[in-house]
Structure 1
């Protein structure tokens, strides 16, 4: 489920259009059903079924990309996906990576700051309440 974009679209970025990429068509089907109850919301949320590693030039169209915590369930896979996104995303674009910290790594792989060397790290936030995911905000440098 694209929880980050659903929350951002409904509470914070109320006029922004979101393209959501998921490898699982069943997940996209459920997400489409959720947004279909609101025509305006539905128009702003698009769902594409594909492997993010196959998305290339399209990544360069976005000012901001959200990478869900469940994308890349091993450290190696997550680092490979981060490299792919960095290669194709817009120079100066922002990437928000949902990660984990401490015991929360039981649920999601941790993205370490040293794995983001080719990004400018803007902020890292580790929640101390019931929220599981950490947030890592980075920018692709402009060359």
Structure 2
């Protein structure tokens, strides 16, 4: 018991220390200091076993910083994607530049898992896929188009992200994808067989639940929803999907990776 408590305290103290160091930085653009701190924070979260996660999350100093940690994580990921999208969009060899992206394998493994889950859900080959929150570096959107062999529309509310995503797709010679500016709060989704809700859409569990309720109103019956979520200590980095707050959807499967792929995946069908 003493060892367990000590491990919990050590994990919490490391998360708090790294969070405070990140919060003190003048910006979150990629660089040696920023990369090292975010890498340390991610590893501290991944190293926290599920049996300790509740105690770590309840630690007073961690709990007090919970919203700040998610905000730092979201802003850091956005800055990272912007920087790499600009690099890939201007590099002499775009594919070589993409190959150097440090999290490329994580994206590929996660989108491959999600494509298998879509197939397992009995959706057949979708004819239209939408990704809400496709971001400036649209690796998931490009991955779905390749794995599902279907046209995919990346949707993002940020005009700069859309422009960067278009440039990246063009430079990589990606087919079957297009990008449009749209907000999850009012976008029409009735024409899609599969709709993906990115991890950073909905900054809190309650905000994500509100978006899911709205999606249930506009998705067609029978369409699949794939929502990225998180479990345990990983909820410090991404807000989880509350399975009890998904009216209008039938939850088909929930997968929680145990490796360095952070996001969980929820697959649901829009009820008839």
Fold match (TM-score > 0.5): yes
Give the greater-gyration-radius structure (CA): 2
In the superposition, the TM-score normalised over structure 2's length comes to 0.48
In the alignment, structure 2 segments of 5+ residues that lack a partner are 1-134
In the superposition, the TM-score normalised over structure 1's length comes to 0.88
Matched residue of 2:160: which SS? helix
Identify the residue that residue 9 of structure 1 maps to in structure 2.
145
Contact 1:4/1:68 (<8 A) preserved: no
In the alignment, structure 1 segments of 5+ residues that lack a partner are none
Q: More displaced, 107-116 or 120-129?
A: 107-116
Query: What is the correspondence of 1:1-143 to structure 2 with a 5 Å cutoff?
Result: 1=135, 2-10=138-146, 12-14=147-149, 16-39=150-173, 41-42=174-175, 44-56=176-188, 59-142=189-272
Matched residue of 2:220: which SS? coil
What is the RMSD of the two structures over their aligned residues, measured on CA atoms? 1.4
User: Which has the larger strand fraction?
Assistant: 1
Structure with the larger RCO, 1 or 2 (CA within 8 Å, 6+ apart): 1
Matched residue of 2:143: which SS? helix
Matched residue of 1:61: which SS? coil
Contact 1:4/1:66 (<8 A) preserved: no
Q: Where do 4+ consecutive residues of structure 1 move more than 6 Å?
A: none
| 1:38 CA drift (Å) | 4.3
